Amino acid sequence: MKENNRASWSGQLAFVLAAAASAIGLGNLWRFPYLAAKYGGGVFIAAYLILSLTLGFTLLITEIALGRYARQSQLTVFPKLGYRKWGFLGVLATIVPLVILPYYNVIGGWVIKYFIAYVKCAFVSPDTLADPEKFFSSFISAPWDPFVCMVIFTVVVTAVILLGVKNGIEKSNLIMMPILFLMAMGLAVYIVTLPGAGAGIRYYLIPDFSNCDNFGKVILGAMGQMFYSLSLAMGIMITYGSYMKRRNSIPGASVRIVAADTFVAVLSGFIIIPVVVIFAASSGQVGKVAIEAGPGLMFETLPKVFSSLGAVGPYIGLLFFVLVLFAALTSSISMTEACVAAICDFFKIKRRTSTFAITLWAIVLGSVSAFGYGRWKAFKPFGMPALDFFDFAMNSVLMPVVAALICYFVGWVLSPKRILAECQRHGGAVGFKYFYIVMVKFIAPLLVLSILVSEVCRAFGIGGWSI
């Protein structure tokens, strides 16, 4: 495959940081701790690690290798490989970030609101978040606040994208990612040294088989979390792979991406679960610790917990939401880049034009989710608020379908040998040849489709699923 004048990362580190930045998002900071607490602590963590290094690794190298081989984003990669009939798969893989990006930016706007609120708490008025539940419900139902915050978040992301791959995405990650890692480690160290944190650490790490009465659900929960966390089936890794230099090792980079993503996910549990356990003890709650899923954990429960820490609480809250803001920004940047690159490759237009088009799209469609709890709360497709519906349609339905189809394409149409050959370009031997072939042809498609079935069952309450 001939090289073109496509932008590229400056090196392996830049690629790994960019891909890890994409993978490390809001899901690491709230969904992983919640699922770990729900499914037996160490049992869930062990399942997650094993699945990340098998299924996650397989899907990751597949997407990166496709992008680098063809030097194209997801929308044009299949025709470039000579399989025009599979162009529909590129369309599906592009729809995913096009729909997720707008509502993700809405949540990014919520994070900006809380960042500002904690700045006020720390330096102006400690009572700004005196009633977290009222603050959150009032904010998301306000006439204009959610929309304005979403626009601010989107503009920040757009500014980074306009600077380009090296000067924008790469440089921003070189700044934000080290800070994110340091803040996460600093917060974790501080929290695990708090009086009473030991109970939370034990709750988090020690395997508790009484909390996982159905081991199948533990596996499915860990598999679903790993799948979403690594930014798979969103076109991101194909696009980022297309910027990767030929001499860089795809397997080596993939292992580092999985390690970085898993590190932050596990670390987030040390930040969240001990303080929730401490709060439960101080408030007189007994029995199993209840940790909410979704926005409720981040925007209602944790502010209560931070306020219970006394004078230091606002500062801990501020640091936490800076961490969350960086994670949200890096993930949104990667989704925006996947959309921008797809439009550039397909329509052969300038990057600036494509960026403004995607920004406008994100604001217009994002307004549906931004107003979904206020002005347009009556709009509830399938009985769900707009944001929840978009999230379900993409994360629970279309993403698993795209991933399964990519596995089928590589395993039975393109041939796994093409991917393995691309992985060997750096000169090293590929020691996982037979493992990869079996995974991509047989095991990975079945596992990914099981995510689809379990998530649909969960959403509609079929068969008692509650992942």
319, 78, 93: which is closest to 184 by C-alpha?
319
Does residue 425 carry a pLDDT above 90?
A: no
The per-residue pLDDT for 27 is 85
CA distance 178 to 440: 33
Is 46 in contact with 39 (CB distance < 8 Å)? no
CA distance 448 to 223: 8
The per-residue pLDDT for 24 is 93
The per-residue pLDDT for 428 is 58
Q: Please state, as a whole number, how many other Cβ atoms lie within 10 Å of the Cβ of residue 79.
A: 16
Least confident of 1-5, 141-145, 194-198, 383-387: 1-5
143, 138, 146: which is closest to 375 by C-alpha?
143
Residue 332 neighbours by CB under 8 Å, 6+ apart? 101, 104, 105, 108, 153, 154, 157
CA distance 433 to 423: 10
Domains with residue ranges and CATH for the chain: 12-464 (1.10.4160)
Does residue 309 carry a pLDDT above 90?
A: no
User: Mean pLDDT, to the nearest integer, of 426-443?
Assistant: 85
Mean pLDDT of the chain: 91
pLDDT tens, residue by residue, 344-381: 999 999 999 999 999 999 999 999 999 999 999 999 99
Q: Is the dihedral of CA 135, 203, 454, 450 positive or negative?
A: positive
Residue 116 neighbours by CB under 8 Å, 6+ apart? none
The per-residue pLDDT for 282 is 75
The per-residue pLDDT for 2 is 47
User: What is the greatest pairwise CA distance in the chain?
Assistant: 66
pTM of the entire structure? Answer: 0.94
User: Helix, strand, or coil here: 420?
Assistant: helix
CA distance 424 to 192: 43
Does residue 1 carry a pLDDT above 50?
A: no
Per the listing, tokens 């306020």 go with: 307
Is residue 331 within a helix (H) or strand (E), and if so which, with residue range?
A: helix 313-347
Q: How confident is the model at residue 65 (pLDDT cuts 50, 70, 90)?
A: very high
213, 299, 409, 236: which is closest to 30 by C-alpha?
299
The per-residue pLDDT for 111 is 97
